[in-house]
Amino acid sequence: MQWPWHRRSAEPEAFATPPAPPSPIPVAVPDLSDLEDQARYHRNRLALYRAKMHGPKQTSVARLQELQRAATAAEARLATARRHTAR
């Protein structure tokens, strides 16, 4: 009698064929238009808020700094993506 946990595999390990290496996955060229649009959007928001600061309505320095951080981050993401596509 043979126990289920003592079963031998159908093919001995010595004769097993090694697995085929995975085929390389083609890398698609990333579309930078979305990042360019985001960078442009944040630049425009910052420019509009700067213009608003010269008007009669109240503005805050904290909001200006937040918009500057967002614009800088968007530009950094775009620059990084362009560097990676240039490789």
The whole-chain average pLDDT of the chain stands at: 85
CA distance linking residue 13 with residue 4, whole number of Å: 19
Question: Which one has a higher pLDDT value, 41 or 11?
Answer: 41
Check residue 39 and give its pLDDT. 97
| DSSP state letter for 19 | P
- pLDDT band, residue 59 (cuts 50/70/90): very high
Residue 27 DSSP SS3 = coil
